[in-house]
Amino acid sequence: MSVVLEVENVHKVFGKPGEPFWRRLRAKRSGSSENDQNGKNGGKRRVVAVDHVSLTVNEGEILGVLGPNGSGKSTLIRLISTLLLPDEGSIRVFGHDVVREPVRVQALINRVSVEASFFKKLSPMENLIYGARLYGMEGRETRRRVLAILGRLGLKEHDIYNPMEQMSRGMQQKVAIARALLSEPRLLLLDEPTTGLDPRSKREVQAVIRELRDEHNVTMLLTTHDMNEAEALCGRIAIMDQGKVVALDAPDALRALAPSSNGHQPTLEDVFLELTGRVLTSEEAPAA
Ligand SMILES: Nc1ncnc2c1ncn2[C@@H]1O[C@H](COP(=O)(O)OP(=O)(O)OP(=O)(O)O)[C@@H](O)[C@H]1O
Ligand SMILES: [Mg+2]
How far away, in angstroms, is 50 Cα from ligand 1 center? 9
**Is the pLDDT confidence value at 19 over 90?**
no
Residue 122 counted as domain residue: yes
Q: In a mutational test of the pocket of ligand 1, which residue from 74, 77, 272 has the highest number of ligand atoms less than 8 Å from its CB? A: 74
Residue 181 counted as domain residue: yes
Residue 75 in contact with ligand 1 by CB distance below 6 A:
yes
Spatial separation of the C-alpha atoms in residues 111 and 248, rounded to whole Å: 22
Task: Report residue 257: phi and psi, to 5°.
Answer: -80, -15
Task: Report residue 161: phi and psi, to 5°.
Answer: -110, 5
**For the CA atoms of 263, 265, 271, 273, what is the dihedral angle to 10 degrees?**
-50
Residue 70 in contact with ligand 1 by CB distance below 6 A:
yes
How far away, in angstroms, is 37 Cα from ligand 2 center? 11
Spatial separation of the C-alpha atoms in residues 267 and 202, rounded to whole Å: 21
The predicted structure's pLDDT at residue 35 = 46
- pLDDT-based confidence at residue 65 (cuts at 50, 70, 90): very high
State pLDDT tens for residues 110-124.
Answer: 999 877 889 999 999
The closest of 249, 183, 180, 167 to 209, measured between CA atoms, is 180
Q: How far is CA 202 from CA 63, 209, 217, 226, in A?
A: 18, 11, 21, 11
Q: Which residues surround ligand 2, an ion (CB under 5 A)?
A: 73-74
Kindly write down the DSSP assignment for every residue of 102-129, as one continuous string.
HHHHHHHEEEE-TT----TTS-HHHHHH
Residue 287 counted as domain residue: no
Residue 172 in contact with ligand 1 by CB distance below 6 A:
no
Q: How far is CA 155 from CA 139, 146, 218, 258, 286, in A?
A: 21, 11, 20, 42, 27
Find the mean pLDDT for residues 15-41: 60
**Is the pLDDT confidence value at 165 over 90?**
yes
State pLDDT tens for residues 99-157.
Answer: 999 999 999 999 998 778 899 999 999 999 999 998 888 888 899 999 988 988 888 88
Residue 283 counted as domain residue: no
The predicted structure's pLDDT at residue 18 = 66
Residue 37 counted as domain residue: yes
Biggest CA–CA distance in the chain, Å, is: 64
Task: Report residue 259: phi and psi, to 5°.
Answer: -70, 140
State pLDDT tens for residues 74-90.
Answer: 999 999 999 999 999 99
Which ligand lies nearest to the CA atom of residue 191 in the structure?
A: 2
Number of domains the chain is built from: 1
How far away, in angstroms, is 111 Cα from ligand 2 center? 13
- Here the CATH number for the domain that contains residue 234 is 3.40.50.300
List of residues 6+ apart from 157 with CB closer than 8 A: none
Nearest CA to ligand 1 atom 24: 69
Which ligand lies nearest to the CA atom of residue 68 in the structure?
A: 1
The predicted structure's pLDDT at residue 32 = 52
**Is the pLDDT confidence value at 285 over 90?**
no
How far away, in angstroms, is 142 Cα from ligand 2 center? 32
Residue 83 counted as domain residue: yes
The residue range of the domain holding 154 is: 3-276
Residue 286 counted as domain residue: no
Most confident range, picked from 21-35, 39-53, 93-107, 254-268: 93-107
Nearest CA to ligand 1 atom 12: 49
The predicted structure's pLDDT at residue 33 = 45
Sheet of 47-58: strand order equals: 47-58, 3-14, 88-93, 96-97
The predicted structure's pLDDT at residue 25 = 66
Residue 253 counted as domain residue: yes
The predicted structure's pLDDT at residue 14 = 95
**For the CA atoms of 152, 286, 57, 76, what is the dihedral angle to 10 degrees?**
100
